[in-house]
Amino acid sequence: MPRTMGLDVGDKTIGVAVSDVFGWTAQGIGTIERIGIKKDLQRLALLIEEKDVDKIVVGLPQNMNGSIGPQGEKTLEFVARITKRFKLEVIMWDERLTTKAAERILLEADVSRKKRKIVIDKVAATYILQGYLDSVQKR
């Protein structure tokens, strides 16, 4: 069964999560180190094929007033590239406060600063995807 992928797109890394086969839960699967758009898309292509992904949910960073800032513009450019390359449904998801929530969970779990830096994007991608999955289940 196809799965849904969640992405937290940053300048240095892309956090990646995928749904279970039922579309109920999100699991973080790792991060992609940003090397260049071609390499980034190649790594993403491997994960899309490996996990049998048919839909991608991308966190859209917005300002608290809902406007799109510089990071949001970069994310929209990245989404344009993945939409063109993969011909999959891509859904933009409001990611305000997801990184803060991920950081809070990692702090509560007493994860060291060094380890938090490594996993924060994966955890944020999981929050993004789980938010989307929860909204679909409520419909």
Tens-digit pLDDT profile for residues 104-125: 776 777 767 666 666 778 888 9
Q: With respect to CATH, is domain 3-138 assigned 1.20.1070.10? A: no
For the chain, the structural domain boundaries read: 3-138
Question: How confident is the model over 77-108, as pLDDT tens digits?
Answer: 999 999 999 989 999 998 876 767 777 776 77
Question: How confident is the model over 38-47, as pLDDT tens digits?
Answer: 999 999 999 9
Q: What percent of the chain has pLDDT over 90?
A: 63
What pTM does this model have? Answer: 0.88
Sequence letter at residue 95: E
